[in-house]
């Protein structure tokens, strides 16, 4: 194999759902490393998740084109691989990007020796980096650094170009002056005493001569404390008068006390989705407070069963089951507004909102309505653990039909959640608290929670939304009775 065909460039693939760019979080290989087929080579954060991308070829890394922290468009080459390193040395020198620096300008020969990865690679369909329906590959134009200097547009009303080009004389540093000894304010200011009118009035009332005091305030001004100490016979320690500007002595409210966080990745996508949903779908939110004491006791009994002892069982499991059963009774809730029609879905991809270090994500359990309670518990646990580790794939966050947000884990009673785009309902599950509750005619401490249901009023009217929320509450109030009545 000739050097002309040994070197292959690997382009950043479309990681799903029409993503257009990704940020390189970390390189898992370096120039000179020998890699295997499908070995993870780079971790990339997209607008949906952080994913590891495997190599399309086995071989030796010859070049890394983008340092960590760089945002790269889909279709842009990110790494070059020698697919036959055992054939001998290459005539083409290796290149690598320095973190934060410009890329070296490749020669015409080196560019000609690099073979761009074909659209259909060696990775099996379905794997990251492999062929995908509707995928696209961007054309790389103008590879390498700019060859022309950036030009700045002239300012209106500015100085002529010739005058602007004339260098200004360098400022001359003032000669150091000896530090003056501390003197009373009146002497330092030529007889002028710096004090506010209220302070002057206080001094007059207390019989204190301001001219004899040394101020402790800004610019040596006299404060109320200085006057009160003098009136009490205390000796105010003389402070050296420093020529301090008002700007530096006053509190700073500028950029030095601000933090600017780039909006990108998951947070950027979340912001776009929430803004689009909030101003597209007419939201309505209803609330219901429920006595869930029986549901909590049912969970305790479930945890005690032998076949459930190795499973993490939380109240979210019963809330998810309640939502799935309520959807069967009110299928219109699980639908999408499609302009001139409403698409009612016979499957439920149940989304669970999860807060991660990179922002809010909503992975979903596919076809959750077909799962048994044990299978649902396992799926929820896997979903949460994957989200916490930052390994949720774009596929797991695509295609959701209805969502639950468990704000109760933060000690919040409930909220008015915003619909994920394309969904018609989202349920907020609040904290379960022990509260006084009227039970069988007597006030007793009971386990109580508050539910908040937001829905798209184009699809779900008040009656349907109220019945759906009521059924969820009925199940949580008495799970055994609801199961007997509905199944």
- Active site members: 457
Among 419, 418, 475, 428, residue whose Cα is nearest residue 451:
428
Instruction: Give the span between the Cα atoms of 469 and 453, in whole angstroms.
Output: 7
Supply angle C-alpha 432, 438, 443, rounded to 5.
Answer: 100
Compute φ and ψ for 195, nearest 5 degrees: -160, 145
Instruction: Give the span between the Cα atoms of 64 and 95, in whole angstroms.
Output: 7
Instruction: Give the span between the Cα atoms of 350 and 316, in whole angstroms.
Output: 12
- 411-414 contacts at long range (C-beta below 8 A, 24 or more positions apart): 413/450, 414/287, 414/450, 414/451, 414/452
CA distances to 15, 45, 136, 143 from 52, rounded to whole Å, are 10, 9, 19, 25
Instruction: Give the span between the Cα atoms of 22 and 47, in whole angstroms.
Output: 7
Q: Which two tokens stand for residue 347?
A: 């499957």
Angle in degrees, 0-180, between the axes of helices 293-304 and 462-477, rounded to the nearest 10: 50
Among 201, 204, 207, residue whose Cα is nearest residue 233:
207
Among 274, 264, 261, 262, residue whose Cα is nearest residue 22:
264
Instruction: Give the span between the Cα atoms of 126 and 15, in whole angstroms.
Output: 10
Q: Which two tokens stand for residue 173?
A: 């540093």
Instruction: Give the span between the Cα atoms of 214 and 179, in whole angstroms.
Output: 17
Spell out a b/e string for 147-175, using b for 16 or more CB atoms within 10 Å of the CB, else e. eeeeeeeeeeeeeeeeeeeeeeeeeeeee
């Amino acid at each position: 194999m000739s050097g002309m065909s040994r070197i292959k460039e690997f382009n950043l693939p479309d990681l799903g759902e029409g993503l257009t760019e990704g940020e390189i979080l970390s390189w898992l290989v370096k120039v000179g490393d020998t890699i295997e087929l499908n070995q993870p080579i780079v971790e990339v954060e997209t607008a949906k998740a952080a994913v590891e991308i495997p190599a399309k070829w086995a071989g030796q890394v010859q070049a890394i084109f983008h340092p960590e922290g760089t945002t790269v468009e889909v279709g842009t080459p990110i790494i070059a691989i020698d697919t036959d390193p055992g054939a001998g040395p290459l005539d083409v020198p290796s290149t690598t990007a320095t973190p934060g620096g410009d890329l070296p300008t490749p020669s015409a020969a080196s560019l000609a020796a690099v073979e761009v990865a074909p659209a259909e690679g060696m990775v099996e369909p379905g794997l990251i980096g492999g062929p995908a329906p509707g995928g696209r590959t961007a054309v790389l134009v103008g590879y390498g650094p700019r060859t022309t200097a950036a030009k700045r547009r002239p300012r209106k009303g500015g100085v002529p170009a010739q005058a602007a080009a004339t260098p200004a004389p360098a400022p001359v540093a003032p000669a150091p002056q000896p530090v003056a000894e501390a003197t009373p304010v009146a002497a330092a200011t030529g007889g002028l005493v710096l004090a506010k009118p209220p302070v002057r009035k206080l001094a007059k009332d207390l019989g204190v001569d301001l001219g004899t005091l040394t101020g402790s305030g800004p610019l040596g001004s006299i404060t109320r404390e200085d006057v009160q100490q003098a009136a009490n016979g205390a000796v105010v320690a003389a402070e050296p008068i420093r020529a301090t500007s008002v700007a530096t002595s006053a509190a700073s409210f500028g950029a030095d006390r601000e933090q600017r966080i780039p909006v990108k990745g998951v947070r950027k996508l979340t912001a776009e989705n929430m803004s689009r949903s909030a101003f597209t779908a007419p939201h309505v939110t209803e609330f219901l407070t429920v006595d869930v004491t029986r549901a909590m006791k049912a969970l305790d009994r479930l945890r005690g069963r032998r076949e459930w002892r190795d499973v993490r069982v939380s109240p979210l499991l019963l809330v998810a089951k309640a939502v799935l059963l309520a959807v069967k009774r009110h299928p219109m809730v699980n639908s999408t507004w499609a302009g001139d029609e409403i698409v009612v879905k016979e499957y439920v991809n149940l989304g669970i909102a999860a807060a991660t270090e990179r922002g809010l994500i909503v992975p979903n359990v596919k076809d959750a309505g077909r799962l048994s309670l044990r299978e649902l518990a396992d799926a929820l646990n896997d979903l949460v653990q994957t989200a916490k580790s930052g390994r949720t794939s774009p596929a797991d966050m695509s295609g959701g039909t209805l969502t639950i947000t468990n704000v109760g884990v933060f000690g919040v009673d409930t909220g008015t959640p915003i619909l994920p785009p394309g969904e018609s309902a989202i349920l907020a599950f609040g904290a379960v608290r022990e509260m006084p509750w009227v039970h069988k005619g007597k006030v007793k401490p009971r386990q109580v929670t508050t539910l908040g249901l937001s829905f798209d009023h184009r699809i779900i009217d008040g009656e349907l939304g109220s019945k759906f929320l009521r059924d969820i509450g009925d199940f949580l109030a008495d799970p055994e009775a609801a199961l007997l009545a509905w199944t």
